[in-house]
Amino acid sequence: MKPRRTTETALEHVRALIERAEQAPGLEQLAEAAGLSPTYLQRAFRRRYGVSPAEYHRARRFGQFKASLREGAAVTDAVYEAGFGSGSRVYEHSNRLLGMTPASYRAGGLGASIRYTTTETPLGRLLVATTTRGICAVTLGDDDGDLVRQLRNEFPRAELERVDAGREEWLDAVIARIAAELGWSDAAAPELPPLDIAATAFQWRVWDALTRIPAGSTRSYGEIAAELGMPKAARAVGQACGSNRVALIVPCHRVVREDGTTGGWRWGVERKRDLLASERRHAAVAEAG
């Protein structure tokens, strides 16, 4: 008698089918291959991977599309190589998933104007960058040269302009907001500009959940996944945290491992420890006052 697949095995089988498929498989087709009902498959797949099977396939196609663009393929060629039937579907989602038009992304940000500044903080050097639409990067590092190189690597053909403090309202607002929220300044926290970040719908959901974690507190990847109604998507939550490019604005430093240990952070584990300790002190002082 053929052994019955476990749900985890069935879901991995479905994921592999989607990875290999040229066209998005229908839910009924995937359910039959998994030996599950369509309704259960949809629900279980979303819990496990953070998105529906259709959304997973779309995200994979956009990943292929972006890779083709960065390798120099023409936009039209990249559209069809990634399995999209027409360019209209790509352009519907390009601003959200690429952060700019496909042609501009292919050209490494060609035509995009990015203004940035750097400043000293208790955590090292801070770089803040904005486009005409909003914040596109907030990064931490040891020196300005490294921070600017990271920005240049992300947008190699964008027009970068360094702006001195006090000369750009949005840049100053971001720095002032961070300083106020983390206790580096007694000034009132101004409103933040909008974000201009390429992200999937699931990443936005995770980042929104992170902004609701109070300063001085932490949550595990599993707790965030459970809050989103997807308790088995802890790994996907971790990946969404790792893709965050706006340090401190989206507080991924407040997410820790399941055992409570600090875990990694793209801007440095020591910085993460120092930041969490500083937030706890500031929160304790605010509560006592």
Residues with active-site annotation? 252
Phi and psi (nearest 5°) for 143?
Answer: -150, 160
Q: Which two tokens stand for residue 164?
A: 């001195």
Strands 113-121 vs 159-162: parallel, antiparallel or unpaired: parallel
CB-CB contact of 135 with 249 (8 Å)? yes
CB-CB contact of 177 with 192 (8 Å)? yes
CB-CB contact of 238 with 278 (8 Å)? no
Strands 124-130 vs 113-121: parallel, antiparallel or unpaired: antiparallel
DSSP output for 26-58: PHHHHHHHHTS-HHHHHHHHHHHHSS-HHHHHH
